Structure 1
Amino acid sequence: MIISKARITAIGSYVPERKLTNDELEKLVETNDEWIVKRTGIKERRIARDDEHTSDIGYQAALNLVERYDKSLEDVDMIIACTMTPDFKTPSVASLVQAKLGIKHTGAIDVNAACSGFAYGLHVANGMISSGFHRKILVIGAETLSKITDYEDRSTCILFGDGGGAVLVEYDEKQPSFLSYHLGSEGEKAKNLYCSDLSSCMFEEDIIHTNKFVQNGREVYKWAVTTVPRGIKEVLENAAMSLSDVNWFVPHSANLRMIESICQKTDFPMEKTLYSLVEYGNTSAATIPLSLDIGVREGKVNNGDILLLYGFGGGLTHAGMLIRWNT
């Protein structure tokens, strides 16, 4: 069990207004609602406006947090934005959110671990606060994947959507949230999930250089359904706990069939699993906070509950975390 002095005290979320349904996708590529739902569980996803970017989504999620929990962000001393779709290479999304919020005395950094990003962001925030260097950190998971999605590729365009979530992590040594963690990376498998940019020879063979999202879904699926169950075992052992102690499993909402396979391999009930993909699709670093907030708003997640978060994706990276919910 780790020594933590940090507690998650509030959560908020935001998704763009525009919906992209399976029926609408049928007009863009050779697909249909039955085919998409059968293979992914996704019915629709949200799409950002042309003038709406990741920093806007992160900002709105933070405002939602403030409104619901009556929290002040004026004394936040670090903003961590987890995303693979930043507005710019520089400045960071966190800096842009800082400007929108008007917080003058805060650090601002981005974390790019793709679909594992939010779990990594929480890990960093917990370490910063538990070390004594920080007292109040805003962690955001936000994406505008629609801006890097190839809508001529039916294997990927059916999956991705836009949205964001935010949590406030504060110093609290009496009721810490963080119980254990497990991190991992397999960069040798990176070619199975990427978006090209500066390098044209990242791997032995040439990559597809289109600045659009490229995924070998079959290989990522095989990797996730073997890697995540092993990681879950490590997270629980590190906390000297078992799956029977977990109230809710909150995995990255990549694909419902993938989540079902992970639950089957770990013998964890799907009815105790939270996911956001049915209405929002795969939103990368935003899926876990969106899923968690759905559980909170629906009254499923209650104070004292033990939650198992697990992100996995580009890198290939994965990150698991056991937390006690007590906002």
Structure 2
Amino acid sequence: MTSETMGGLLVLGAALLDQLIGDPRRILHPVVVMGWSIRQLRHWVEPWAGDDPMKLRIGGGLITLILVLGSVLTGWCLERLLWLPSSWQWISIPVLALSLASTLAARSLRDSVLAVVNALPSAAAGDLELARRNLSWIVGRDVQSLDREGLLRAAAETASENAVDGVFAPLFWMGIGALLWMVMPSGPGPLALAWGFKASSTLDSMLGYRTGRLRWLGTAGARLDDLLTWLPCRLVMLTLPLVCPPWKQWAQRVQAAERDGSADPSPNAGRSEAIYAHCIGIQLGGENRYGELLVQKPVLGAGQPTANVTLVRSVLKASSRLEIVWLSALGIIQLAITR
């Protein structure tokens, strides 16, 4: 097996493993290690920085540099197993494919969203506690006050936003790594780049809040995550309409998603939700509660039907179709380069 084909086959294997097994609970997940590392680094940085904004920004930058660079180098070291004598490849290929699969969340996202949706039909009148409890595992908003429609809207929003963060952005960086291997087999490849992205995403999810010290400590990680997600998000905006007929509405949907999504403070989250809203035909956004704080999110796809079970399932199905398209595109690009 040559470097020209190895990267693409590993990415395909990782995507298949993710769909088959998701995130096995009995295997130590790299994100758990990254989270533990972030907590340890905070214990060193915060006593030094105190409440000084400048020191907190510097400390946050160091945490980001150490975690992301360390993740890239760890992935790169594992990748070097491939270039040991061929008798080792029967071990190294499965290890790398499983490590790559750990950066994808298609199966776990689908299962988590469906756990909310499937809890609704069996709920007795007014009894939505199971659906609320399932939703609380995957969103940061207050779920206790949500009615059936609010639960479905939250499920659709997390399915559309996290499709970019949890599936297409890591898949994009894997693909870049696979293509880099074609010209420089000894350089960082799919695992190194995917783990680097996953490190920035974990930093954003743990430190990227505008409260207390995190307002400054999490700046570097949040900005890096925005940067690394920027291009994959725009590629999702351009390609999702291709798997959601009619295709003649491609330009209209992309323009509408850019218009609606640009109103969100995040450079990526609003746009990723907006393109799903316009492709599926569902209205998203509105008021969310986070503890005592009420946040008015931009309305996406105004005038379209509000969330229901069928539309939430359609969001998940569109993501599955688009993942197949992206994997096929990577294979076609690799084939074109080798020829």
Provide TM-score, normalisation by structure 1: 0.26
Q: Compare relative contact order (CA 8 Å, sep 6+) and give the higher one, 1 or 2.
A: 1
Q: Comparing both structures, which one devotes a greater share of its residues to helix?
A: 2
Larger Rg: 1 or 2? 2
Provide TM-score, normalisation by structure 2: 0.26
Q: Comparing both structures, which one devotes a greater share of its residues to strand?
A: 1
